[in-house]
């Protein structure tokens, strides 16, 4: 259970954001996780920013559904959540369904879920839909001691997305419209965004893949913190029906928050694939390195995978689960 302190007033809480502003000036913050404190600081930089931005943006910085692969390049999860171009279906498939879940240790208490689908509209055109829900549990109001009172403070966000992807020779491209809404105690807001992405499956005739995409790029520039992603990978061994080995790099930058560089290697042997990568993030001036490991199994039209990412700043590792199904 996580607590946050409050300064009392005759009219009670006007909003959790106002209270969190007061917290920052107190000499200590009891029983509050580093994650919630960082989120609070980012949300109360200024009253104008609080009024315009949608709560819960922090919760979407976890690599949900990617396991240990690169977000702009991965095709493990359907629906084009990180790159709208990845919604394009393989030639022999009519539809795909996918479910992903992510949990973090108690100190953060984040739970995220993703359900997505992609379906063929025309031979070279695919449609996609996805829904993401992410929240922090057990955040309660307190006074000057750790004794909590009242109901838990709701802190979470949801994203509903609809997209189209098209394949033209060796190039996949896509666009996705999203609506994200979030809540932080009594503060609730929402915003639209329109994202695009492209995957070059054979760059200049070589086996190198190059991908670029956006995430939560809003026409209302002050309503969302957009993320820009770029990635590339290439085979280390000549791929065949039994073995394949690829290595690559990706970078992503989130406005007003920070950036990440990610190096990874993905290997496949028959129906088993494994990925390992090293992430370096810089957020609010803090640099952290995390190791990600993913393992997947494909059987018939089903795929199941698990992954683990090391924690930072004394917080334990996070875990992911992924389940997909293809229809031909």
- pLDDT (mean) for 294-319: 89
Report how many domains make up the chain: 1
The answer to whether position 145 is within a domain reads yes
For residue 54, what are its two tokens? 């949608």
For residue 107, pLDDT beyond 90: no
CB-CB contact of 212 with 229 (8 Å):
yes
For residue 258, pLDDT beyond 80: yes
Q: What is the mean pLDDT of the chain?
A: 82
Q: From CA 328, how far away is CA 325, in angstroms rounded?
A: 10
The answer to whether position 21 is within a domain reads no
pLDDT band with cut points at 50, 70 and 90 for residue 145: low
Residue 228 region, left (φ>0) first, then alpha (ψ -120 to 50), else beta? beta
Within its chain, how far is the Cα of 195 from the centroid?
14
pLDDT band with cut points at 50, 70 and 90 for residue 228: very high
The answer to whether position 38 is within a domain reads no
The answer to whether position 52 is within a domain reads no
For residue 5, pLDDT beyond 90: no
Q: From CA 279, how far away is CA 227, in angstroms rounded?
A: 16
Percent of the chain with pLDDT over 70: 79
Percent of the chain with pLDDT over 90: 58
Q: How deeply is 313 buried, as exposed, middle or buried, from its count of CB atoms within 10 A (0-12, 13-18, 19+)? A: exposed
Q: Using one digit for the tens of pLDDT, what is the confidence trace for 8-44?
A: 333 333 333 333 333 333 333 333 444 443 344 333 3
For residue 280, pLDDT beyond 80: yes
pTM: 0.79
Q: From CA 89, how far away is CA 326, in angstroms rounded?
A: 10
The answer to whether position 51 is within a domain reads no
The answer to whether position 30 is within a domain reads no
DSSP bridge pairs for 302? 299, 325
Q: Which residue is it, tokens 């990617």?
A: 66
The answer to whether position 31 is within a domain reads no
Q: Which residue, 66, 263, 88, 62, is CA-closest to 174?
A: 88
The answer to whether position 18 is within a domain reads no
CB-CB contact of 128 with 116 (8 Å):
yes
Distant-in-sequence contacts of 314-319, Cβ < 8 A, 24+ apart? 314/34, 314/107, 315/34, 315/35, 315/104, 315/105, 315/107, 315/108, 316/104, 316/105, 316/107, 317/105, 318/62, 318/102, 318/103, 318/104, 318/105, 318/108, 318/110, 319/102, 319/103
pLDDT band with cut points at 50, 70 and 90 for residue 241: confident
Give the domain extent around 107. 57-327
Return the CATH number at 273.
2.40.160.40
For residue 102, pLDDT beyond 90: yes
């Amino acid at each position: 259970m996580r607590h946050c302190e409050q300064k009392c007033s005759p009219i009670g809480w006007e909003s959790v954001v106002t209270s969190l502003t007061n917290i920052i000036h107190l000499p200590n913050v009891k029983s509050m996780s580093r994650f919630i404190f960082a989120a609070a600081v980012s949300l109360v930089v200024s009253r104008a920013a609080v009024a315009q931005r949608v709560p819960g943006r922090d919760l979407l910085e976890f690599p949900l559904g990617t396991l240990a692969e690169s977000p702009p390049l991965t095709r493990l999860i359907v629906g084009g959540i990180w790159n709208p171009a990845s919604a394009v279906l393989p030639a022999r498939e009519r539809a795909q369904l996918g479910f992903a879940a992510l949990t973090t240790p108690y100190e953060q208490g984040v739970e995220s879920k993703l359900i997505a689908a992609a379906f063929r509209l025309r031979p070279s055109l695919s449609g996609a839909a996805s829904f993401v829900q992410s929240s922090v549990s057990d955040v309660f109001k307190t006074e000057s001691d750790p004794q909590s009172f009242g109901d838990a403070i709701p802190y979470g966000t949801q994203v509903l997305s609809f997209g189209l992807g098209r394949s033209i020779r060796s190039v996949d491209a896509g666009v996705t419209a999203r609506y994200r809404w979030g809540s932080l105690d009594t503060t609730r807001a929402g915003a639209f965004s329109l994202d695009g992405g492209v995957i070059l499956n054979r760059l200049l005739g070589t086996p190198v893949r190059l991908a670029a995409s956006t995430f939560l790029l809003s026409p209302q520039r002050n309503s969302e913190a957009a993320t820009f992603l770029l990635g590339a990978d290439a085979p280390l061994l000549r791929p065949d029906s039994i073995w394949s080995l690829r290595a690559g790099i990706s970078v992503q930058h989130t406005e007003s928050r920070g950036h990440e560089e990610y190096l990874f290697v993905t290997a496949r042997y028959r129906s088993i694939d494994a990925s390992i990568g090293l992430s370096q993030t810089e957020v609010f001036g803090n640099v952290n390195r995390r190791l990600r490991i993913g393992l997947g199994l494909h059987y018939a039209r089903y795929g199941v995978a698990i992954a683990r990412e090391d924690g930072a700043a004394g917080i334990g590792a996070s875990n992911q689960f992924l389940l997909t199904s293809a229809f031909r």
